[in-house]
Structure 1
Amino acid sequence: MSSLAKRAERKERNKQSLDMNLVALIDIFTILLFFLLSSATELETLVIPRAVALPESTADVTPKPTVVVLVNAQEIVVDGQTVARTPDVMANDADLIEPLQAQLVALKAKPEAGSTVTIMGDKDIPYRLLRKVMSTCAQAEFTDVAFAVRTRLEQKS
């Protein structure tokens, strides 16, 4: 048999069997499905601006959707809208922050608004400012106050 004939025979033999290994493909789809299911939880994720450094916590309770009040060294923001400047609030001796109260009362009038407010405060803001924000929330009839924190991963010893 000539080398040309051997080559043609070998080509014909290799052409006949084309096996596809589905096990690896099924493994990939299983991992992809697991990833998608684990990432689609009911956990509310708050977008944390760079201007706010949240304190850490080890709490396991998942938060409910609420009105979010962001407090940092420059401004006080309610659901994305700036309502007051922090230096102006600190210069005032009153515990009530009137623009914040007006915005919270307007949000409270909406039927989907509950009685819970989440304060996303920078970890370095003074307690006096935090007390003013909490007092204003209480006067706007938000009875439940929650604080946004970063989840700290516990280290096992």
Structure 2
Amino acid sequence: MNLVALIDIFTILIFFLMSSTGVEILSTAQAIKLPQSTAEKMPREMLVVTVSATDILVDGRKVATVAEAMDTQGDLIAPLKAELELQAGRSVLAKPGESQNKSVTIMGDKAIPYSLLRKVMYTAARANYSDVSFAVTQKAGKA
């Protein structure tokens, strides 16, 4: 019996099974350590605001530094609000029956101060993003 043909089929089968597992992974910068959570619900694809120790990024594009954001009077971060409004204008029209709420995921390092996180959340709310989610690392479930 010729096993070469069977090995090819098994290789293709394994590749197909690995690529279609349905696991969604949010790419994170290596400089960011996310907090852990036991949440079961997987995130859906949406706009991502990344807050590292030094920079604030919207979908990978730097909009402000943490030092600038912390030095601003009040809670509004103007460059972040401008970028969020720009991204909202670029969004594709929702399909009929879908929610019209704008969604954003905040991916912040677990060591950032709460005052900075509050400013980012306030700015997202002022830019009419009513659905705010936080990116976390999922803890291992109980056995």
Same-fold call, TM cutoff 0.5: yes
Match of 1:51 in 2: 31
Are 1:128 and 2:126 counterparts? no
Match of 2:71 in 1: 91
Amino acid at match of 1:95: D
Point out the structure with max Rg over C-alpha.
Answer: 1
Q: Cα distance, 1:107 vs. partner?
A: 0.4
Give me the identity figure in percent: 43
Match of 2:44 in 1: 64
Are 1:100 and 2:107 counterparts? no
Unaligned runs of 5+ in 2: 94-100
Q: Cα distance, 1:61 vs. partner?
A: 1.2
* CA RMSD, 1 decimal: 2.2
Contact 1:52–1:122 (CA<8 Å) still a contact in 2?
yes
**Aligned partners of 1:33, 1:125: CA distance in 2, in Å?**
44
**Aligned partners of 2:39, 2:76: CA distance in 1, in Å?**
30
**Aligned partners of 1:51, 1:134: CA distance in 2, in Å?**
21
Q: Secondary structure at the match of 1:82?
A: strand
Contact 1:69–1:76 (CA<8 Å) still a contact in 2?
yes
Q: Cα distance, 1:37 vs. partner?
A: 2.2
Structure with greater helix share of residues = 1
Inter-CA distance 111–87: structure 2 relative to 1 (3 Å threshold): closer
Bigger relative CO (Cα 8 Å, ≥ 6 apart)? 2
- TM-score between the two structures when normalised by the length of structure 1: 0.76
**Aligned partners of 1:155, 1:34: CA distance in 2, in Å?**
28
Contact 1:43–1:63 (CA<8 Å) still a contact in 2?
no
**Aligned partners of 2:10, 2:42: CA distance in 1, in Å?**
27
Q: Secondary structure at the match of 1:128?
A: helix
**Aligned partners of 1:28, 1:150: CA distance in 2, in Å?**
36
- Give the number of aligned pairs: 136
- TM-score between the two structures when normalised by the length of structure 2: 0.82
Q: Cα distance, 1:147 vs. partner?
A: 0.6
